[in-house]
Structure 1
Amino acid sequence: MEETTNTLGISAFEDAPEALTIAEKLAANVAATLAPRKIDNATLVTLPEGYRVQDLTSTIEAAQPHRARAQGTVTLGDVPSLLAYCADQVAQERGYIYADPDARTITAVFNDQRSTLAPGWRDHRAHFAAAFTPEFKKWLEQNAKPMGQTEFAEFIEDNLQDLHPDQAQTLLAVATTIQATTGINFSSAKRLQDGQAQLTYNEVIDAKAGADGALKIPQAFNLGLRIFKNGEGYKLTARLKYRLHSGAVKFWYELERPERAVEDAFTGYVQEVREKSGYTVLIGKP
């Protein structure tokens, strides 16, 4: 085979080793440029012009048997579960627990920013929301709302388990046997400056209950309720009210400061977390 030469008279075969070396170096440089780079916990790769930098961190992490760091939020159904989860995280020196009385929530932030030297991402959490029980919601929703005689009797019958047995039967008897009449007693009369007479009177309601009219109508009754799901029982007092309306009797009850009972029940949760968790508990929103 005849050896060929370029225009400079240099043999192409003589230049082959040097050209191959240059090509290998260029390929190596390109490969090094395109190779993924790890910066701290992030993995990046540089692509040619016209392309974008692709973050492969989550993809690579998802293929590992363990995560690079703990994150995410877990929702728990009661305080003992919250305490157990907080204990497992062993983050008493790094995290805070936040109690929000308005929202009735308790949230633990395990990677909080307690230390200015190593501030956390605040994205590893446990959350507990104190939810009302169905029975408490019934009494709360019907609070101070007038009911007809039959409606009131059915309401008491449906919720007998929340009352003391003796009081429950008394309320049922009152609701089903009450008889009431009204009268007007004039108490005074006086002459006004314009010469007209003004009469002052009081409306009197004579109410009797029981088959013989001898049953005493209670002014108040007590409820034994769990305010929050998976919580302890709580005693509430309700005042019984009744009025004649269009020839019929209207009943209703008024709970005595139900908001105070809710506040006290939630405060009990907060105190339990303070005493048992080992974390610093703050009142506020996380």
Structure 2
Amino acid sequence: MDKVVASAAEAVADIGDGASLAVGGFGLCGVPTVLIDALFERGSRGLTVVSNNCGLDGRGLGRLLAAGRIARAMGSYVGENKEFARQYLAGEIEVELMPQGTLAERLRAGGAGIPAFYTPAGVGTLVAEGGLPWRYAPDGSVAVASPPKEVREFGGRSYVLEEAITTDFALVRAAKGDRHGNLVFDKAARNFNPLCAMAGRITLAEVEELVEPGEIDPDAVHLPGVFVQRVVALTPEQAADKPIEKRTTRPAPDAGKGVG
């Protein structure tokens, strides 16, 4: 039952070329950067990555992307990553974009054993009708386009059929975890992490605080250990490494007022 491994390098040791990965996080929040860095050092190539976005330039999945290790990405947001946009438009990477809620539900369905589901999101658009550019040719033409999807009517409203997503591995980050793999996520870090963990056949979790079984109130568990196969305990320095994507500040309410 003890799922703790000695290092992130050991945890990712069997992730080979061509593997598919579901990776938690949103922007820079809840991203399993230590596991991603270990995978970068391992040198795996030709990866298929399922994640909301593909990290930032030089950070998170952005490291794998810049090194040309990702062959296909499935997500909902190209975001601030200029290299991701460049590779996509240059035909160097295949990208399947989808509505964010659809991505979340496709991952959840995969973890729940549901093969497909109907959703109104995307009806009447290229998402349902097909034709979204998945890969561009070097001359800028569309080399691979999305296929049309089944659309059915329920209660007088149209819905598009979306298939579940499962992956070979999942990489997630949690605020707290025990040796049995039960995980707790902190606030917004509970974004795509539980869903990715469910969708992966083998799930690797890096945890900021490792506790013994029984120390987490069962009612406080966000993800049961049944979905997790390996746990990596982060060092205090690794746990504290949480950069801010866009720092926004404003003057204090009493700024400029005299002290009297």
**Which TM-score band (shorter chain)?**
under 0.3
**Larger helix percent:** 1
Q: So what's the TM-score if we normalise by structure 1?
A: 0.19
Find the structure with the greater CA-based Rg.
1
